């Protein structure tokens, strides 16, 4: 039973806390893409400078993710880290390199 709970609460390997996320983003330089997966309304209320918006709840989310450059590394965030974690799972399943900002936009230290 304990293994069951460990699996549920285990962090994915692409989950990074704010400091590690920011540090890795800076290290990747021109290969790094900030991706905000919140809704357009959330995005319009404020985001991390330089981020691109692809709404996780949009019907076109999968198509837009498929059109991204697979040679880039994606730094994905949302409000709390839940949607962006799911987006990272989808992206890594497609062979893309993606990291989730665990805790969401509020964890961004930059």
CB distance 22 to 75 below 8 Å: no
Q: Quick one: pLDDT at residue 110? A: 72
CB distance 35 to 54 below 8 Å: yes
The CA-atom distances, in angstroms, between 95 and each of 24, 80, 101, 107 are 19, 24, 19, 26
Phi, psi of 22 (to 5 degrees): -65, -45
Confidence of residue 75 (pLDDT cuts 50, 70, 90): very high
CA dist., res. 105 & res. 25, Å (int): 14
The model's pLDDT over 16-64, given as tens digits with 9 standing for 90+, comes to 999 999 999 999 999 999 999 999 999 999 999 999 999 999 999 999 9
């Amino acid at each position: 039973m304990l293994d069951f709970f460990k699996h549920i609460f285990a962090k994915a390997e692409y989950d990074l806390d704010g400091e590690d996320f920011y540090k890795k983003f800076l290290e990747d330089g021109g290969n790094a893409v900030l991706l905000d997966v919140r809704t357009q309304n959330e995005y319009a209320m404020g985001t991390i400078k330089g981020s691109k918006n692809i709404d996780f709840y949009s019907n076109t989310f999968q198509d837009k993710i498929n059109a991204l450059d697979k040679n880039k590394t994606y730094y994905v965030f949302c409000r709390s880290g839940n949607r962006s974690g799911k987006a990272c799972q989808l992206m890594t399943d497609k062979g893309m390199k993606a990291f989730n900002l665990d805790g969401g936009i509020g964890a961004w230290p930059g």
